[in-house]
Structure formats: C-alpha cells, structure tokens
Amino acid sequence: MATAAAFGGSVEGTAQTTDGFKYTDERFADIQMLRYKVEGFDHLTLKQKTFIYYLQEAALQGRDILFDQNGRYNLRIRRLLEAIYTDYKGDRKGKFYAGLSTYLKRVWFSSGIHHHYGCEKFVPPFTADELRTAARQIAPEKLHLAAGQTVDDLCDELIPVMFDPTVMPMRVNQKDGEDLVLTSGCNYYAPGITQAEAEKFYTERKAPLDPRPVMMGMNSRLVRNADGELTERVWRVGGLYGSAIEKIVENLLAARPYADTPAQQKVIDLLVEFYRTGDLRTFDDYSIQWLKDTESLVDFNNCFTESYGDPLGMKASWEAIVNFKNLAATARTEKLSANAQWFEDHSPVDARFKKEQVKGVSAKVITAAILGGDLYPSTAIGINLPNSDWVRREHGSKSVTIGNLTDAYSKAAHGNGMDAEFVIDEATRKIINTYGDACDDLHTDLHECLGHGSGKLLPGTDPDTLKAYGSTIEEARADLFGLYYVADAKLVELGLTPNLEAYKSQYYTYMLNGLMTQLVRINLGNNIEEAHMRNRALIARWAYEHGRAEKVVELVKKKGKTYVKINDYEKLRHLFGQLLAEIQRIKSEGDYEAARRLVEDYGVKIDPALHKEVLTRYEKLHLSPYKGFINPVYKAVRDAQGRITDVTLDYSEAYDAQMLRYSRDYNTLPDVNE
C-alpha cells in the first residue's frame, strides 16, 4: 500500500532555497515538476554507492513494462511522438509543436495516454491531420514501423486510440454495473475477455482452504489461446516482458556483491528466482525475507507491486525505488523513543489511562535515491509492504516515510503564494519560514513514535467500540499528543527544538489548515469525509470554540478577507492538553456517544460562506493540483580496469531530456508485446 501526498494542497512557486537547490521545475497541463535532493549520498561508503548505482540501473530498466501494462498502444504512441518531438522539421515555435510537446510530456508523466490520477484519456491539443502531416516528414526508419507497414498505416492504427473519445476512454473503469474488464483500457486482459470470464478463471483456481494463499494473477496477463481457452502469459525471464526483466536481473546480480548484509543478498537471490520462474510462492518467500531485513542501510523495491491499475485489483503494476535510511531523522526518532516513558508520565491525561510501561516506535525515515515504474514521476510519500494478507498477518510489514520527498514538497511550497494569501501578518510568516519545516517533521515524529503508542484501554473496553468514529478519534489523539509536546521545554532540553518560540509555527499552521486552508480539497456543498481531515477540523474548531470567551484564537476580517489570529499561544497549548485528556478518556472508556458528538459537532460540517471564500482565494493562486519528480542522474566513475571508483550525482537534467534519455538507454521492450 502506498500513501499519497496531499494533493490540491500547497505546492508551487519557483522555490529556490538558501542552499541553492531548485526544488521546482517546469509546469504543463495540471502538473508541476519537482526535484528531490539525495541528502547524505556523499557520506555513503563506495560499496554502498556502488550498490545504489546498480540498483538504480535496475530501477530504470523496467520503465517500458509500465507503459505497456497501462495500455497496449502506449509504447507505439510514445515512440511516434518522441520521433516527431526530436526530428520535427516545421516551426518549433508554432501551435502544433507546442501542443505536441505538452501532450508528450503528459504521456511521459502518466506512462500512457490516460491521466495518472483520474484514469480518463486526455485529449491531444492538436488534430489528427496535423499529427499525420508531421509523421510523414519524419525519416521512416525512426518511426518503428512493423514489417510492411507504411507511415499512414501506423497513423491509421494509432489515431483512433488517441483521438476517438469512444476508444479506451478509461484506463481503469470502476463504474458499478459495467463490464469492468471489457471497458478498461489497461493491458492486463487481452481484448474481448469479459469480467465474468476473468473472474471465473481465477475463482476456479483458488484453493479455498489454503491459509497462505499466493496472490494469484498478480504477475501475468490473461489471454485467449489458439483454442479459445483462457491462459496466463506470465511476466518473467523467457515469458512476457522477458527482455526487460532480463535487464533488471542483470543489474540486480551486478549489485549483489555490494549488498549490506548476507540477509540482503538472500533477498536479491529470491527476487531473481521469482523474476526467472514467475513462481508466486517464491514471491512470498522473497517478501518475507525482505520485510525481515531491517538492518541494511540501503534498501530497495523492484517488482510487480500495487494493483490499483487493475479493475479487478489482482494484476500488479511494475514499480521500483532505491533508498537508504535517513540517519539524522532516525536519530531524532530514537531520541523520542528513548524518552517515551517521560512523555507518557507527564502527559495531561488521567493517570488511569496511562501506560505503566510504554515503548516508543522508531519511525523509519528513508531517503529516496531513485524512483521508477509506477512510482515515477508521480510518487508515494509513504510505503507499507508487502501486500499479501497472510504474510502481513504472520510476519508483519515494513512501513517507511520518504523524508526527502516530503521535504521537497514543503520546500517547493515556500513562495507559492499560499502563505502570502492566508497567513495574517509578516511576523507570523517569519516564524513559519524559520521553524515551519523542522516543527512539521517533529510533529510527525511525535505523532508516529509516541502518540499512537501512548495511553491504554480500561480493562474490558472493546477496541472497536468507537466504530466509524474510531479512526478520526485515534488520529486526533496522536495529533494532540504531538501538538501538546511540540511546545514542551523537554524538546529544547533534548535539542530537538531550538527554543520556546519555534512551536508557534506549528500551532499557527495547524489552526490555519484545520479552520481554513484544508477546505480547498473539498467541493463547495460537501462535508468533510476523510478521517485525517476530520481530525484536523475537530481539533482546530474545538480549540477555537473553547477559547472563544478568552479570545485565545480569533477569525478576524481584513478588507473582506478572513484570517486566523492567535492571541495566546500558551492558552492554546492548554486547550490542546484539555482535548487530549478528553479524547484519551473517550478512547480508554470506549465512550461511543462522546466520540460521535465530538466528530459530528466539530469535524464534519463546513461554514459555507467561509468555504466559498477560501476556494475563491485559492483559485486565484493558479496552483497545479498534481506534482511529480525528476530523478537525479547517477554516473559511475571507473578506473582503467573498469572498476567503479566513485559514483556522482547530477540534478541538472531537464524533464524532457531525462525522458528521452530513458527511452533511448532503457529501451527494453519491442513495440508490440503479445
């Protein structure tokens, strides 16, 4: 499972930070490109750098697989567009070339012709005739023509796929009542196979009493053979996508001698065996070995992983990430964990609900070194794997947050206009600019390492009593634990905050988000539904209402615009402590009625006038709702014998240059993959 970044939110601008690193790059359509920094790479050993070098090669070799999984014409369309993009003879400043450039950038971004998030086919901003005219001007040997095929034949084949709104309108169709397999444009089932046929095929093969079932169907395309019977084309060496998988295996084996531990070499061995055989039992063995390896500094995923792209939720798209532990962030979380009992003992909740023995969790923060397949360019910021239910039940899972990606999102948000529009005054903006990022991270650490693990249920309380309100209450509890302690002198003593002013950045942005800015993600007239958003509204609205008499927090009007004004930060902390105590009581006693009232009174409904105002102000900022990342470039420095003596990093490659280079150097699949 993957955690997505909050979208529609805050990222934009041309953020150039004090260290000179440029986090934002070009914009096109509804997309903003960003860059991430691989902080700490230079401090790795040569062995670790070499390991990462081969793993990132393996992570790029599978790129074509995802294009083909997302649609059977995607590779051909991408290659036709790329040929025109690079060899176009006409006016490069004209409307057609501009439209072609934007469309190709979208195809690269989505690994196909459908929107990466909404799944709908996007419309080319040029005509079919213009495309055909441009294609005719390109040297035919550049156009990937099949034997005997002319340029016009190729155009005849691809033009309806790109332009006709009735052909493959959705990559994944989830509309209830329709044949989801027949009507989805993804390439997991051969054309003509119905949903009923596919479901029957897999139901018949399921062993109903197997307590440890493999994830059937996850690594194959379902096709019809010459006799009309259904059969699987497995993605493996010697099978479908074999030429790409061979390249992946080659690089995994090159990486193997540089693995951190023998246990990690075993991970690679099992993965390679899976890629060679396609055996799903081997995949489970690999997953278990991988999740148990928590010692290695460098870690990676490179496989068929998530099944969001299959309407039946079985077939897994190919993705890859290489990463290493963020030692600074891990040191921070270890400090909190080591003091977990102190935090538990000093929290404002009733002694009856406190744990006598509390153990903090060290949240694992990682630094991404490369993104590939379904994690590129649009990516997750948190990953929790493996996905197999029985493996999770019996062996657990590995959960990480990708620190340098969340960091890039927030750095890029600086100067995007949100703060200028919504923060009340310059003094407050200054506090946010100085301490905002550090306190955000710290609040997340407190939430994850201590918040969720604190407190206990009274004997006899059923953990499921709060039902539908359970997850909102639980998130509020962890958030409040973080809010209460981010302002504590103990953090200054531990060296985690610089002074007793820093927390104000967190208090202001939390209240602003909960009372106002998170509403930009909700359409006018709707209620708040999502648990994290409900929790933030609940905390902010409750603190606002309960501090009203003393004017702790106000909503003030300036020139017709509403602003959050915090008059008394210490009293606000006291209110957070009070609500934490009440929410812990609700949880410990299983007080369903109190949970229901808190959530319904403070976390669900939106003041329509304020909502409309926030949406109008947000719209004027023209922010792109979707973001994705350009990868850094790794170069191996070799000696006369060809041995790697260093690995260097370069962040300057342009988005189109990167995509064209990938298409040239990691060109691992033929145009048609049957």
Structure token pair of residue 372: 């590939």
Q: How far is the CB of 5 from Zn ion (least distance, A)?
A: 16
Q: Residue 478 interacts with Zn ion (CB under 5 A)?
A: yes
CA atoms within 13 A on the CB side of 72: 16
What's the CA dihedral at 90, 92, 97, 99 to 10 degrees?
-150
Q: In angstroms, rounded to a whole number, what is the distance separating the alpha carbons of residues 635 and 658?
A: 14
Q: How far is the CB of 401 from Zn ion (least distance, A)?
A: 11
Considering the complex, state which of residue 536 and residue 574 has its C-beta at the smaller distance from Zn ion: 536
Single out the segment in contact with Zn ion by CB under 5 A; choices: 477-485, 592-600, 635-643, 654-662.
477-485
Please name the residues in contact with 438: beta carbons below 8 A apart, sequence gap of 6 or more. Answer: 497, 502
DSSP at 111: T
Q: How far is the CB of 360 from Zn ion (least distance, A)?
A: 14
Q: How far is the CB of 383 from Zn ion (least distance, A)?
A: 16
Considering the complex, state which of residue 155 and residue 531 has its C-beta at the smaller distance from Zn ion: 531
Please name the residues in contact with 196: beta carbons below 8 A apart, sequence gap of 6 or more. Answer: 179
Considering the complex, state which of residue 50 and residue 509 has its C-beta at the smaller distance from Zn ion: 509
Q: How far is the CB of 452 from Zn ion (least distance, A)?
A: 6
Window 168-227: residues binding Zn ion (CB under 5 A):
none
| 271 touches 386 (CB < 8 A) | no
Considering the complex, state which of residue 478 and residue 575 has its C-beta at the smaller distance from Zn ion: 478
Instruction: Output the CA torsion sign for 306, 307, 308, 310.
Output: positive
Kind and range of the H or E element at 312? none
Considering the complex, state which of residue 473 and residue 478 has its C-beta at the smaller distance from Zn ion: 478
Considering the complex, state which of residue 103 and residue 481 has its C-beta at the smaller distance from Zn ion: 481
Single out the segment in contact with Zn ion by CB under 5 A; choices: 200-208, 361-369, 410-418, 472-480.
472-480
Q: In angstroms, rounded to a whole number, what is the distance separating the alpha carbons of residues 56 and 53?
A: 5
Considering the complex, state which of residue 374 and residue 475 has its C-beta at the smaller distance from Zn ion: 475
Q: How far is the CB of 475 from Zn ion (least distance, A)?
A: 5
Q: How far is the CB of 478 from Zn ion (least distance, A)?
A: 5
Structure token pair of residue 79: 């290659």
Single out the segment in contact with Zn ion by CB under 5 A; choices: 257-265, 471-479, 542-550, 611-619.
471-479
Structure token pair of residue 634: 């790794």
Considering the complex, state which of residue 77 and residue 473 has its C-beta at the smaller distance from Zn ion: 473
Site string for Zn ion, 516-535 (x = CB under 5 A): --------------------
| 615 touches 520 (CB < 8 A) | yes
Site string for Zn ion, 375-414 (x = CB under 5 A): ----------------------------------------
Considering the complex, state which of residue 63 and residue 332 has its C-beta at the smaller distance from Zn ion: 332
Q: How many residues does the chain have?
A: 674
Considering the complex, state which of residue 344 and residue 448 has its C-beta at the smaller distance from Zn ion: 448
Considering the complex, state which of residue 532 and residue 565 has its C-beta at the smaller distance from Zn ion: 532
Considering the complex, state which of residue 374 and residue 479 has its C-beta at the smaller distance from Zn ion: 479
Considering the complex, state which of residue 103 and residue 510 has its C-beta at the smaller distance from Zn ion: 510
Structure token pair of residue 479: 């958030």
How many residues touch Zn ion under the rule CB under 5 A: the total is 1
Three-state secondary structure call for residue 646: strand
Single out the segment in contact with Zn ion by CB under 5 A; choices: 53-61, 302-310, 357-365, 475-483.
475-483
Q: How far is the CB of 584 from Zn ion (least distance, A)?
A: 15
| 213: nearest Cα among 275, 315, 283 | 283
Q: Residue 365 interacts with Zn ion (CB under 5 A)?
A: no
Structure token pair of residue 484: 């209460």
Q: How far is the CB of 445 from Zn ion (least distance, A)?
A: 12
| 3-state SS track over 21-51 | CECEEEEECCEEEEECCCCCHHHCCHHHHHH
Q: How far is the CB of 597 from Zn ion (least distance, A)?
A: 22
Q: How far is the CB of 347 from Zn ion (least distance, A)?
A: 17
Q: How far is the CB of 388 from Zn ion (least distance, A)?
A: 23
| 592 touches 465 (CB < 8 A) | yes
How far, CA to CA in Å, does 272 sit from each of 61, 215, 240? 14, 18, 16
Q: How far is the CB of 528 from Zn ion (least distance, A)?
A: 17
Single out the segment in contact with Zn ion by CB under 5 A; choices: 126-134, 145-153, 188-196, 476-484.
476-484
Considering the complex, state which of residue 408 and residue 478 has its C-beta at the smaller distance from Zn ion: 478
| 223: nearest Cα among 211, 213, 235, 212 | 235
Single out the segment in contact with Zn ion by CB under 5 A; choices: 141-149, 287-295, 393-401, 470-478.
470-478
Q: How far is the CB of 539 from Zn ion (least distance, A)?
A: 13
| 418 touches 440 (CB < 8 A) | no
Please name the residues in contact with 331: beta carbons below 8 A apart, sequence gap of 6 or more. Answer: none
Considering the complex, state which of residue 59 and residue 365 has its C-beta at the smaller distance from Zn ion: 365
Instruction: Output the CA torsion sign for 370, 376, 382, 383.
Output: negative
| Position of minimal CB gap to Zn ion | 478
Cis previous bond, 377, omega within 30: yes
Q: In angstroms, rounded to a whole number, what is the distance separating the alpha carbons of residues 519 and 515?
A: 8
Q: How far is the CB of 351 from Zn ion (least distance, A)?
A: 24
Please name the residues in contact with 480: beta carbons below 8 A apart, sequence gap of 6 or more. Answer: 451, 539, 576, 577, 579, 580, 583
| 246 touches 239 (CB < 8 A) | no
Q: How far is the CB of 397 from Zn ion (least distance, A)?
A: 16
Considering the complex, state which of residue 40 and residue 382 has its C-beta at the smaller distance from Zn ion: 382
Q: In angstroms, rounded to a whole number, what is the distance separating the alpha carbons of residues 186 and 315?
A: 10
Q: How far is the CB of 405 from Zn ion (least distance, A)?
A: 18
| 663 touches 669 (CB < 8 A) | no
Which residue carries 């009735």 as its tokens? Answer: 166
Structure token pair of residue 215: 């994830």
DSSP at 449: I
Q: In angstroms, rounded to a whole number, what is the distance separating the alpha carbons of residues 192 and 217?
A: 18
Considering the complex, state which of residue 381 and residue 478 has its C-beta at the smaller distance from Zn ion: 478
Q: Residue 446 interacts with Zn ion (CB under 5 A)?
A: no
Window 296-355: residues binding Zn ion (CB under 5 A):
none
Site string for Zn ion, 66-105 (x = CB under 5 A): ----------------------------------------
> Could you write out the DSSP letters of every residue in 612-656?
HHHHHHHHTT---SEEEEEPPEEEEEE-TTS-EEEEEEE----HH
- Say how many C-beta atoms besides its own lie within 10 A of residue 595's C-beta: 22
- Per CB under 5 A, residues contacting Zn ion are 478
